[in-house]
A and B are shown apart, each in its own frame.
Chain A
Amino acid sequence: ETGVTQTPRHLVMGMTNKKSLKCEQHLGHNAMYWYKQSAKKPLELMFVYNFKEQTENNSVPSRFSPECPNSSHLFLHLHTLQPEDSALYLCASSRDRGGNQPQHFGDGTRLSIL
């Protein structure tokens, strides 16, 4: 139990579908992150939110749309995805963005694009 919960754990969708991934943390953290982990590849940082404001977008295609309504919740809205988007999507949180605070990760959503 890491304190970061992601739902769903598994998702299969077609390229024309629209779905959303959800992340929730009750650790009192102010920073939240989305990562992508493809098979045999390192984790790739996608988005960073600090106090609900997006502070980083690492050149992520617009078919991925993040939303952070409050410091405890983070969403990743998906639409018109491609087969190469199949991966494990991980959410993480940390106390804040600075000072090398360790990140707490959820167990991810395994996404498969048909």
Chain B
Amino acid sequence: LAKTTQPISMDSYEGQEVNITCSHNNIATNDYITWYQQFPSQGPRFIIQGYKTKVTNEVASLFIPADRKSSTLSLPRVSLSDTAVYYCLVGDTNAGKSTFGDGTTLTVKP
């Protein structure tokens, strides 16, 4: 199984850019990197997915260096409502070949 390492928690303030880095040293050639967001008492929500370089959507950006052994989720100008747990997954989640780890609990303060 593809293992990931993320910080357990991060604090930020409204309006700041937040970068959460995930390490995945044993990423396989065919593995994608997927990030989810989870609020209390809700299911995880897909944020962004990428394979290499940079991916951007209306919510976030994902930066992946050439060696693909890490990735960084970037949330621009966070608000209080971005307080949540963020999970980084590597590999084929649908085949049970990657798992949700502990995630990063992001707390945005006013």
Contact = CB atoms under 8 A, between A and B. Distances in A.
A35 B34 CA distance: 18
Contacts of B103: 42
B103 to A, nearest CB: 7
Given A42-B103, A45-B99, A107 B94 contact: no
Interface residues of B, number: 21
B41 A108 contact: yes
Given A88-B41, A110-B41, A103 B46 contact: yes
Nearest to B93: A103
Interface of B: 31-32, 34, 41-46, 49, 91-96, 99-103
A2 B44 CA distance: 10
Interface stretch (A12-20, A62-70, A75-83, A90-98): A90-98
A102 B34 contact: yes
Contacts of A35: 100
A100 B43 CA distance: 18
A45 B96 contact: yes
Interface residues of A, number: 30
Contacts of B49: 100, 102
Q: By DSSP majority rule, is chain B's interface helix, strand, loop, or mixed?
A: loop
Contacts of B94: 31, 33, 48, 94, 96-101, 103
B42 A102 contact: no
A105 B96 contact: no
Contacts of B99: 42-43, 45
Interface string A39-69: 0001101001000000010100000000000
A42 B100 contact: yes
A2 B95 contact: no
Given A42-B100, A100-B34, A105 B92 contact: no
